[in-house]
Structure 1
Amino acid sequence: MQKVYTDPRIASKFAGDRMWSLAAIVVLWLLYAFVFYEVKDYAGSSEVIWALMISGGLVILFNTAAIFAMLFHLSEERDEIYGLDLHYLDLKKQ
């Protein structure tokens, strides 16, 4: 069941955080692909290339999973996380 959020700023802040998180995942994958492409010629043997592929793949897999877990947590706790942030922003404006 979808929650109804009372403050539209919460949905806006979450949408921004989600967009930047997904952009970070894309940049991460592109950087790893670029680095692997540039390094593979200097790696030497095929065993080293496989070690680089497996270790790099595990790193980006776990980082991607961590970012998705963060997004899942943010979506479940939107009101508490962003509400507190907006509360202090509103106090600062007064």
Structure 2
Amino acid sequence: MREDIKKRMNEMYLRDCFMAWFDVVFLWAVVIFVLIAILGIVQDSNIRLVLYVASFMLMLFNTASVFAMTRHFKEDKEFIYGLDIKHLDANRAAKNNR
């Protein structure tokens, strides 16, 4: 495989990983902010427990899914990003031929 295509695939992979993990961090911040705001209103200890557990489960499963997704992207990098690059190059060539 050509080096320029490998470089482009790696750049796309790193960008996707960065954005995925940025979204996870952003979700954690939002969930924690909302949890703190809601806990100031809720007085019932049972509801507070449900809020803690639900927030933890949401963040746990979302983080695990992003971890699995980025690992899958790394394993199938050539197929996933090779196809993207092929289509991007074809679209660019079609635009230039107009």
Confirm or deny: 8 A CA contact 1:13 1:82 kept in the other structure. Answer: yes
* RMSD across aligned positions (CA): 1.6
Unaligned runs of 5+ in 1: none
Confirm or deny: 8 A CA contact 1:5 1:11 kept in the other structure. Answer: no
Unaligned runs of 5+ in 2: 94-98
CA shift, 1:81, in A, is: 0.2
CA shift, 1:14, in A, is: 0.4
Deviations 1:71-90 (A, max 9, x none): 01000000000000000111
Percent identity, please. Answer: 29
Alpha-carbon distance in 1 for matches of 2:82, 2:72: 15
Give yes or no for the alignment of 1:71 onto 2:67.
no
Alpha-carbon distance in 1 for matches of 2:92, 2:24: 34
- The equivalent residue for 1:30 is 29
CA shift, 1:93, in A, is: 1.5
CA shift, 1:21, in A, is: 0.7
CA shift, 1:42, in A, is: 1.3
SS in 2 for 1:7: helix
Confirm or deny: 8 A CA contact 1:29 1:60 kept in the other structure. Answer: yes
Instruction: Name the TM-score, length of structure 1 as normaliser.
Output: 0.90
Give yes or no for the alignment of 1:49 onto 2:48.
yes
The number of aligned residues is 91
CA shift, 1:45, in A, is: 1.3
Give yes or no for the alignment of 1:20 onto 2:57.
no
